[in-house]
């Protein structure tokens, strides 16, 4: 079961930032004993792969903190983040970690399942992130974009590390994400209701 939690946490992390979970796995596999990637995923720990991921992460971190540019970035990432989520779930669920000694026994007969699950999880998280960002930008006149982006990046890092080291805590992280989703959409609904009320008031008394 820890394999599924590890994969889920990494895929959810990819929904926030495509490159953080992949880079986290690669760095931990290359420089620590926290995760042992299977042969099919060993390329994640390759020096050139890590360099490319680091460069892409740097671009993503900057672009996601600039209003308007962050929206364009989210459009592009609609393909990238789910793909990264599939890779992250596939690699993470098949890896030996400090909590998983025999990862091969979980998805042995259905190797496509973890990749498909990762794509769906990352796509859902990305969808919420992309829908929430315009609300943040409008309600804060754009000043909230870097704050929200930084919080998402930190959440992605924490979720990636927990997924590998303490996968049972992924459930708490997912719970926080669900709460944040409900809060954002409730805020969005209240804002629309307030706007409609203002328009109606102006129509009646204007």
Tell me the domain boundaries of the chain.
Answer: 2-205
Reply yes or no on whether the pLDDT at 133 is more than 90. Answer: no
* Contacts for 74 with CB less than 8 Å, ≥ 6 apart: 126, 129, 130, 133
Average pLDDT, the chain: 84
pLDDT (tens digit, 9 = 90+) per residue, 153-184?
A: 999 999 999 998 888 888 888 888 788 778 77
What is the mean pLDDT of the segment spanning 80-85? 94
* Contacts for 60 with CB less than 8 Å, ≥ 6 apart: 17, 18, 19, 73, 77
Reply yes or no on whether the pLDDT at 137 is more than 80. Answer: no
pLDDT (tens digit, 9 = 90+) per residue, 15-43?
A: 999 999 999 999 999 999 888 888 888 99
Give CA torsion, residues 164, 166, 172, 177, to 10 deg: -20
d(CA 138, CA 12): 25
Q: What share of the chain is helix, strand, coil (3-state, %, to 5)?
A: 80, 0, 15
Task: Lowest mean pLDDT of 52-56, 58-62, 121-125, 144-148, name the range.
Answer: 144-148
What is the mean pLDDT of the segment spanning 88-110? 69
d(CA 128, CA 184): 9
């Amino acid at each position: 079961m820890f394999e599924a939690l590890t994969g889920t946490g990494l895929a959810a992390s990819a929904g926030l930032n495509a490159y953080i979970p992949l880079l986290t796995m690669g760095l931990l596999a290359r420089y620590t004993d926290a995760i042992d990637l299977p042969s099919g995923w060993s390329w994640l720990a390759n020096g050139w792969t890590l360099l490319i991921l680091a460069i892409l992460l740097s671009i993503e971190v900057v672009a996601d903190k600039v209003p308007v540019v962050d929206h364009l970035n989210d459009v592009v990432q609609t393909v990238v983040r789910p793909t990264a989520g599939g890779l992250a779930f596939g690699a993470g669920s098949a890896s030996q970690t400090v909590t998983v000694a025999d990862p091969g026994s979980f998805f042995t007969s259905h190797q496509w399942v973890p990749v498909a699950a990762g794509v769906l999880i990352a796509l859902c998280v990305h969808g919420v992130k992309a829908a929430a960002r315009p609300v943040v930008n409008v309600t804060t006149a754009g000043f909230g974009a870097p704050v929200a982006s930084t919080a998402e990046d930190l959440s992605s890092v924490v979720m990636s590390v927990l997924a590998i080291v303490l996968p049972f805590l992924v459930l708490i992280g997912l719970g926080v994400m669900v709460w944040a989703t409900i809060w954002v959409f409730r805020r969005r609904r209240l804002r629309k209701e307030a706007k409609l009320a203002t328009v109606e008031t102006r129509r009646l008394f204007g």
